[in-house]
Amino acid sequence: MTMRTPEELSNLIKGLIEEYTPEVKMVDFGIVFQVGDGIARIYGLDRVMSGELLEFEDGTLGIALNLEANNVGAVLLGDGLKITEGSRVRCTGKIAEIPVGEGYLGRVVDSLARPVDGKGAIAPNETRAIESPAPGIIARRSVYEPLATGLVAVDAMIPIGRGQRELIIGDRQTGKTAIAVDTILNQKGKGVVCVYVAIGQKASSVAQVLNTLKERGALDYTIIVMANANEPSTLQYLAPYTGATLAEYFMYTGRATLTIYDDLSKQAQAYREMSLLLRRPPGREAFPGDVFYLHSRLLERAAKLSNALGEGSMTALPVVETQEGDVSAYIPTNVISITDGQIFLSADLFNSGIRPAINVGISVSRVGSAAQPKAMKKVAGSLKLSLAQFAELEAFSQFSSDLDQATQNQLARGSRLREILKQAQNSPLSVEDQVASIYAGTNGFLDSLKVDQVRPFLSGLRNYLAQNTAQYGEIVRKTLDFTPEAEGLLKTAIQEYLEDFKSQNVSA
């Protein structure tokens, strides 16, 4: 070790003093003067921003929402049981942001993207602000690619495209979540990243969805964001934005994503609770005036990006619960006006055994056939009209006993077409299987069967096609078109299997 001379030491110290530049760092502190019900009122934060993250003495985070003349109203991102009057609060200078990245696939996280599935920490790629601006019109292109749900009723008559926002609306226990989960299951092998956001649900319900996805190998491409019913309303309010932010990371890397918000009625209720505790003035149904903005700024983030931005997409399937089928209530009308169509589920249809209980008459897709493969367009064109005419005739025929033969035939055809739309839960169908079912129905091949034989016949037909006429499926999958060759193969297969099916049932 070399000894330094006093001159060398003094020169070294002089150099360090000359290089030193004083740095002044100002930190704003405030004092809590009221806390309770997940809300804290703070005195002294003069330079705080709206939506800024605040850090309390015990490490709890909060978000500044109300900037009033004398105090700041903040919502707590936790129980805040250790926060007392007189506790110090620090401004962080940051807007709420979460880590995002590839590591989130297959994981279950909370509203702040912290893992809650016991599988350890997640290594993020980057961080993104929870509230980010929606893409503008230059950044978008029109929706043109189909996002198949695997449900005949939806893909044939209410088609959904990548980048679309399609509302799933209906009373409780009518199968809204089942449609959302089926759609996730149908994305297997299609390169679509799915985000399922559970807002204010029972933990047992979320566990059920998790098990379904795990059993069918769908969890590998899915992220579950959950804010259970027992969690603070702040976390329930933030959960959908966290889900959208996680999906946005994948969308801006050029991938297709699907986000399901289940459900936005509960998010609105959580936001109403927060707003009333913050003493914001209530409006219609006691919701605050900006409840429309709550949902519009979330759903506008769903988009199909332009070629320059990598052609990624975010498709949103928000779920809204109605009371007694009342779609004219405040939250349902708000979300209907923001979205590009709705799938309406009816309790009456559900109870009469039509499942999924989709009311085809009042359900609509405002993107329409732009998001439908050619094969589906060709066979499903007459299906919606036939079903509408059947519903009208069915209502009329209840009052009349003697019907002419043409009407009887139309009623018989309609009842068989309705059987095609019935589908078991967690069993989405490929495009070629859906096309085969609809073609068999609309071309009269099912007319000679009894109504209760239609579903067993279609199930057997799918197996028959897979085993004996694999070429038909290959043509439809590759071209997404119902070519004359594919039609010829399908027609022959249906006729052959129909004879087999009838002979089996006669012998039975």
30 is in an annotated binding site: no
Q: Report the distance separating Cα 313 and Cα 303, nearest Å.
A: 6
| 176 carries a ligand binding annotation | yes
Q: Which pair of structure tokens corresponds to residue 163? A: 């980048």
Q: Active site residue: 366, 416, 418, 462, which one?
A: 366
In sign, the C-alpha dihedral spanning 412, 413, 414, 417 is: positive
- Give the C-alpha separation, 456 to 453, whole Å: 6
Tokens found for residue 109? 């996280």
**Residue 170 is assigned to a ligand binding site:** yes
CB-based contact 215:427 (threshold 8 Å): no
Q: Residue 78 carries which DSSP code?
A: S
Give the per-residue SS3 of 89-144.
EEEEEEECEEEECHHHCCCEECCCCCECCCCCCCCCCEEEECCCCCCCCCCECCCC
Q: Is 477 annotated as a binding residue?
A: no
Structural tokens at position 215: 């059993």
Judge whether 290 is annotated as a binding position: no
Asked whether the bond before 46 is cis by omega within 30 degrees of 0, the reply is no
- Please state, in angstroms and rounded to a whole number, the distance separating the CA atoms of residues 108 and 277: 30
- Cα(100)–Cα(114) distance, integer angstroms: 10
Q: Catalytic site residue 355?
A: no
Q: What distance in Å separates the CA atoms of residue 215 and residue 231, rounded to the nearest whole number?
A: 27
> Could you tell me if 139 and 309 are in contact, meaning their C-beta atoms sit under 8 angstroms apart?
yes
Q: Tell me whether residue 172 is annotated as binding.
A: yes
Q: What is the rounded (10 degree) CA torsion for 474, 477, 480, 485?
A: 10
Q: Do 112 and 222 meet the contact criterion of CB atoms below 8 Å apart? A: no
Asked if 75 and 81 count as a contact pair (C-beta separation under 8 A), the reply is no
Among residues 190, 247, 191, 248, the alpha carbon closest in space to that of 224 is found at: 247
Q: Which strands form 192-199's sheet, in the order they lie side by side?
A: 108-109, 222-227, 192-199, 256-262, 313-321, 167-170, 341-345, 364-365
Which amino acid type is present at position 63?
I
Q: How many residues does the chain have?
A: 508
326 is in an annotated binding site: no
Residue stretches of the annotated binding site for ATP: 170-177
Residue stretches of the annotated binding site: 170-177
Catalytic residue list: 366
